[in-house]
Amino acid sequence: MGYVSLLGKRSNCRRFEPRAAIRKTVMKRAQFSNQSMGLIAITGLAVVSGLYGLLRPDNEPEGLTFWRVNESWDREIYSRAIEDWKAESNRQVNVEVLGDLGLWQRMRSSFFSGSPVADLIEMHLEIMMGVYNGPEEAIGFLDLTELLQRDGLLEVINRPTLSPWSSRGHIYGIPVTVSGVLLAYRADIVEEAGIDMAAIETWDEFMDTLRPLVQDVDGDGFPDRYLLEMEEGSRTGSWVEMLILQAGGRYFDPDGKVVINSETNARVISKIALWGARPDKLIVDIPVFTLAGNQLLNDGYVVAWLVSDWRTKFMKLYLKPLAGKVKLMPIPAWEKGGRRTSVLGSRMLGIPKTGDNIEESWDLVKKLYLDRKVCRDRYLESDGITPLTSLWDDPIYDQPDPFFMGQKKGRMFIEQAPEVPEIPSSAYNLAARRAVASAAKNLRDFAEEKGITTSEDLYSKAHELLAEAEAGIRFLADRNSFLRQ
């Protein structure tokens, strides 16, 4: 037998065959080694977890253990609520504050190995999505549906707010806030230009009316101001998802089927692509929640940005120069009479189903998330709007907020809260976010390259890119035999 040389000719020389055989042997050994190392790692984790369960000390802390995410601005709220609950119940609570990665690792290790887990766990949405990646019986959290019904709470919690914490007909967590979204805008800049924001109802009207504010202030040939902060890449995909959900689009249907390539999604990313296409670029991607991004907002680099109820607290902490210069308004709709809000992130509190103190844990959940006094404190100190609709008549939500030029910020969020869209609870939603955001970015590049200026002329390409994104996410989902059932 011969071999094909680099010149493409077949030779009868056999002296290279041993090298080919060696390479094949090495590759097989490497593959076997990788598989063996993976098996060894899994086995090692199982052994360590088992030994820990057998050898851990018996003198574990008394009372309930509460793992919570690191949110410094509402730490005092939790401390006071827990002290009150301890006095009422005569029970101890051991709080451990963890970062997202540490919380995820400890929680997953506990769920899969049977090692000790907290009585209550608080987490962000991005962590919770991974919990659904398996059969229903493998979800480590207690189904709270019966407890909510028993205590008459299911009817008084804003139902869309429960959606990301629900899967396959079961509710596994209580949301801390509604996490509805409004539009914050630089009232000082807009009003100086004589623009009436109250007359703006749709995104088309917003972009057309405010377009003159995109300016090259220093004369270097590049704009020093844009209209809207917008994550244009695929870093998290949250901003694109916000606008898609607002328009009534989604990435998964109620049964978990991938539905990325829809007419609504294509229409939305076509608009976003044109907003970001040069030479008439209207939106800009800035590093949100960073010192650099905060400085850009303070400097007026963008006129408007999307804010959830909890993000207004960020503004007060990190955008202090903007106090008295910013106002809020409902998000412009995609069409006349359309939805004027969306949703951005959230936190939830759940109870691991292996816990020994279910009723006490549930009592503490209600204290921390659903108690009237605690909910009032959370709004007054961190701007969070409770999802408990029975508390929305509290006059604290009608208090003028000096930071927002005396607007009744709480009432504005509550008025839009019933229209907050549902967030799909698929284990692949984060991957879908990034895939669709990447499609929107590629569509923007296509519009720039072809000189396209109308969104209708982008629909065909938008569907093509969304079809690719859908195929990629479906491939991931179809590999999961548990979620195909």
**What's the pLDDT band for 146 if we cut at 50, 70, 90?**
very high
> What integer is the mean pLDDT of 125-152?
88
Q: Which amino acid is at 88?
A: E
Higher-pLDDT residue of 24, 350: 350
310-324 per-position pLDDT tens digit: 899 999 999 999 999
> What integer is the mean pLDDT of 324-342?
98
Residue 407 contacts by C-beta under 8 Å, 6 or more apart in sequence?
327, 328, 400, 401
- Specify the pLDDT at position 409: 98
- Specify the pLDDT at position 126: 82
- Compute the 3-state secondary structure of the chain and give helix, strand, coil in percent, each to the nearest 5: 50, 15, 35
**What's the pLDDT band for 458 if we cut at 50, 70, 90?**
very high
Neighbours of 459 (CB within 10 A): 15
Residue matched to tokens 């409770």: 386
> What integer is the mean pLDDT of 219-227?
89
Residue matched to tokens 């924001």: 197
CA-closest candidate to residue 464, choices 306, 199, 269, 184: 269
CB 342 within 8 A of CB 242: yes
Q: In terms of residues, how long is the chain? A: 485
Position 49 pLDDT exceeds 60: no
**What's the pLDDT band for 484 if we cut at 50, 70, 90?**
low
Q: Where in the sequence of the chain do the CATH 3.40.190.10 domains occur?
A: 64-177+345-400
Residue matched to tokens 């006129």: 303
CB 174 within 8 A of CB 165: yes
Helix (H) or strand (E) holding 185: strand 181-186
Q: Could you give the percent of the chain with pLDDT greater than 70?
A: 86
Mean pLDDT is lowest, of 74-78, 119-123, 387-391, for: 74-78
- Specify the pLDDT at position 57: 45
Mean pLDDT is lowest, of 54-63, 241-250, 434-443, for: 54-63
Mean pLDDT is lowest, of 59-63, 339-343, 372-376, for: 59-63
288-314 per-position pLDDT tens digit: 889 999 999 999 999 999 999 989 999
Position 230 pLDDT exceeds 80: yes
Residue 77 contacts by C-beta under 8 Å, 6 or more apart in sequence?
374, 377, 378, 381, 382
- Specify the pLDDT at position 73: 76
Quote the CA–CA distance of 318 and 297 in Å, as a whole number: 10
CA-closest candidate to residue 423, choices 202, 148, 180, 182: 180
Tell me 123's DSSP state. E
- What tokens does 204 get? 């088309």
CB 238 within 8 A of CB 285: no
- Specify the pLDDT at position 60: 55
Strand 120-124 and strand 166-167: pairing?
A: unpaired
Residue 323 backbone phi and psi in degrees, to 5 = -55, 130
E-only strand ranges, 27-152: 64-69, 93-98, 120-124
Position 53 pLDDT exceeds 70: no
- Specify the pLDDT at position 481: 60
> What integer is the mean pLDDT of 150-156?
95
Mean pLDDT for all residues in the chain: 87
Mean pLDDT is lowest, of 15-24, 63-72, 150-159, 250-259, for: 15-24
> What integer is the mean pLDDT of 367-388?
96
Position 15 pLDDT exceeds 70: no
Quote the CA–CA distance of 61 and 169 in Å, as a whole number: 35
Angular region, 323: left φ>0, alpha ψ -120 to 50, beta rest: beta
Quote the CA–CA distance of 222 and 215 in Å, as a whole number: 8
Calculate the CA dihedral of residues 407, 412, 414, 415 and round it to 10 degrees: 140
CA-closest candidate to residue 223, choices 166, 280, 182, 270: 280
* CATH number corresponding to 64-177+345-400: 3.40.190.10
* CATH number corresponding to 198-303+422-484: 3.40.190
- Specify the pLDDT at position 384: 95
**What's the pLDDT band for 483 if we cut at 50, 70, 90?**
low
- Specify the pLDDT at position 115: 72
- What tokens does 152 get? 């008459």
Position 148 pLDDT exceeds 90: yes
Mean pLDDT is lowest, of 218-227, 264-273, 293-302, for: 218-227
